[in-house]
Amino acid sequence: MFKKAFLFASMTFAIGVAAQTCQQMSDNLGIDAFGNNGKTTPGRASREDQQRFANMSCQTRPKGAAPASFMGCQQMSDQLGTNHNVTWGRANPVQQQQWSANKCTTSPKAVAPAPPPPPKVSVEQMVAAGIKKVDLWEQNTTKQIDQDRLAMLNKIKKEEKNNKVMGSRMNSVNEIAARDTNNIRVGAELRRKCFRVEKRENCFERY
């Protein structure tokens, strides 16, 4: 019975000394658990005292210390994960009091997710869907030539209105367009043969 009472008294005394030691270290050495944006400032404490202060999980400040600086609502949300009506995140008790006193309602900024990459479609999938890679290339190239040809025709028509062009220029434009269209068809045929015979991805680049 005596041993149990002595053990209980020793534990109570040890707890009281530990709590008192934290405050004494803050008062005598200037260690502030919430001095710099909620982080511990060492004051005049040595490294050993700072480590002891941390090991005892001290949450004390020097008596009469100025109010701890407040980092701001949004910064507190971003850095400590404090979310209004959801969680305190990593905020300590003093920071929680500051949050409430400043009536903060912020939440951590959400990082916009990167857009998903476009799906990779193989030549086999294109063929299965009835779309050939060479056909897609031919359509895009033909469309570009049609646009260039239309722009040239519009330019010639404008010059004809100003009587600055001969009628033979229109024939030249038609001949150029016909030759380009024929070249596209020949190239497309070569690519188709390449895919059928060699089944190589670089057929598109070769022709």
> What number of other Cβ atoms are within 10 A of residue 177's Cβ?
17
**pTM confidence score:** 0.32
Lowest pLDDT segment from 14-28, 62-76, 112-126: 112-126
> What number of other Cβ atoms are within 10 A of residue 106's Cβ?
16
pLDDT of residue 162: 66
Comparing 64 with 178, the larger pLDDT belongs to 64
Distance separating alpha carbons of residues 193 and 132, to the nearest angstrom: 12
Rounded to whole angstroms, the maximal C-alpha distance in the chain is 124
* 31-57 mean pLDDT: 83
Distance separating alpha carbons of residues 104 and 121, to the nearest angstrom: 49
pLDDT digits (tens, 9 = 90+) for 11-35: 444 444 444 688 888 889 888 887 7
| Residue found by looking up tokens 């480590």 in the block | 51
CA 2 from centre of chain: 65
Distance separating alpha carbons of residues 62 and 35, to the nearest angstrom: 10
> What number of other Cβ atoms are within 10 A of residue 158's Cβ?
11
Contact indicator for 177, 144 with CB cutoff of 8 Å: no
